[in-house]
Amino acid sequence: MKAQKKLNTFVTTTFEQALKKAKQFDSKPNFNQLLPGIPLAVKDLFCTDGIKTTAGSNILNNFVPSYESTVTKNLWNNGAFLLGKLNCDEFAMGSSNETSYYGNVINPIGDKLVPGGSSGGSSSALAADLTPATIGTDTGGSIRQPASFTGTVGLKPTYGLCSRWGIVAFASSLDQAGPMTKNITDCAIMLEAMSGFDEKDSTSINRKKELYSRNLNDNIKGLKIGIPKEYRVDKMPKEIDELWEKGKKILKNLGVQLIDISLPHTKYALPTYYIVAPAEASSNLARYDGVRYGYRSQKGKDLIEMYENTRSEGFGDEVKRRILIGTYVLSSGYYDAYYLKAQKVRQLIKKDFDENFSKVDAILTPSTPSSAFKIGEKTNDPVSMYLNDIFTVPANLAGLPALSLPAGSDKKGYPLGLQLIGKSLDEQKILNIGYAFEKNCGFKNEIKKWWL
């Protein structure tokens, strides 16, 4: 509870319920499950039956779903139970967890440091051992960037691998739920438990379930890994470059063949993302109108004023900013110049990957262009905040699986991550590479429990 106060990771706790479930499990233990009796806290973007679900927003402050998201249901069906709902950026829009209506989350790495975002409550709780594993959602890096900032493992699966049903939507063509864990083995187990075809999601991929944990294998000899030259950006700290070099060396020693590749449209990924994601969000968030659930402003004389006041009071600044960007890029006269253009560039970005994946098995890049920054450091400059996702966004635009691995730390001792991007539905391979990497990296996340 102390940790909760200092780190502000939970929006809602369900400890009592969890205790009951734990007792139930103990009285009749069943270890033939993937997650036997394991309590899990999850990002507060997953709708949970009978448990308040806020998406980090005031507009859903009092919202209690009568349904359970497919992904969380899959976890419970595999033996886990709910420990609580974790803080996140409002509607998953943010890279530092500073946009949450429920306050900043603190990175256990150090007081005053952000835990990354938008799954900041998840990364912080995981790193602080408040949950043994967790799940987040990743639209432009919201799993991988916080994982990198907290020295944990985060995987964004292939678009369509995990059902989006029952997850509060941010940008439908980019959103994917994924595991956040302490190590690769846990990551494989969690992915195995949460993924799978769902007929309620039209974008869910219908295929046989893979046994990621059973098939985990650290023999990666002979694999070809691409090193894209475009991921060396201006003003990137030297430490990131050194980390990347370190990663390459480790993989090389494991018998991997490194191949220099080019993904020429990388620099356009972030601008593309900041058209596509807000456009979809502006439409996805139109349902928060104060009519059927959530916050309703009491100000205003008619329906239209009720809408305007509800949405103005219910949404925070970043969300409003993105709704306005999205509304603008779709509006009459601007659609072709922005939205359509962005979808064309997205095609080019996807092609870059497609072409290279005929030559390589996976791609290695840094996860983020910096380590965790201080609370308030970037809040006044949205673009500098957005630049945090520069390395993670391309995988979302192309729908590819991408894994962030803890790989080292900077001078200040803040952790840094490396990213492995895989072919579509090739989660097993990047997990295997990650598995071998983990064993040979020698990085250990050192966190003093200063908040206790």
> Is the CB of 19 or the CB of 324 nearer to another protein?
324
For another protein, the binding residues in 231-270 under the rule CB under 8 A are 265, 267-268, 270
Q: What is the x/- site pattern for another protein, positions 346-375, by CB under 8 A?
A: xxx-x-------------------------
275 binds another protein (CB under 8 A): yes
The span from the CA of 108 to the CA of 445, in Å, is 11
Query: Smallest Cα–Cα separation from 156: which of 358, 349, 366, 420?
Result: 420
Residue 64 near another protein by CB under 8 A = yes
Concatenating the DSSP letter of every residue in 156-225 gives: EPPTTSS--TTBPPS-TTT-EEEEEESSHHHHHHHHHHH----TT-TT----PPP-TTTT-----TT-EE
List, in sequence order, the alpha helices (H) in 28-106. 70-77
Residue of 57, 95, 96, 118 marked active site: 118
**For another protein, which residue of 2, 209, 238, 292 counts as binding (CB under 8 A)?**
292
Q: In terms of residues, how long is the chain?
A: 452
3-state SS assignment for residue 351: helix
Q: In this complex, which beta carbon is closest to another protein, that of residue 30 or of residue 202? A: 202
Q: 82-121: which residues touch another protein (CB under 8 A)?
A: none
**338 contributes a contact to another protein by CB under 8 A:** yes
227 is an interface residue for another protein by CB under 8 A: no
Residue 238 makes CB contacts below 8 A (sequence gap 6+) with none
Contact positions with another protein (CB under 8 A) in 159-178: 159-160, 164-169, 171-173
Judged by CB under 8 A, which stretch of 6-14, 59-67, 359-367, 414-422 contacts another protein?
A: 59-67
Burial 353-385 (b: 16+ CB within 10 A, else e): beebbeebbbbbbbbbbbbbbebebbbeeeeeb
Of positions 98, 138, 239, 280, contacts another protein by CB under 8 A: 280
* Residue 379 engages another protein in binding (rule: CB under 8 A): no
Question: Applying CB under 8 A, does 302 fall inside the site for another protein?
Answer: yes
Distance CA 101, CA 342 (A): 30
Nearer to another protein, 15 or 197 (CB): 197
**Which residues are designated catalytic?**
43, 118, 142
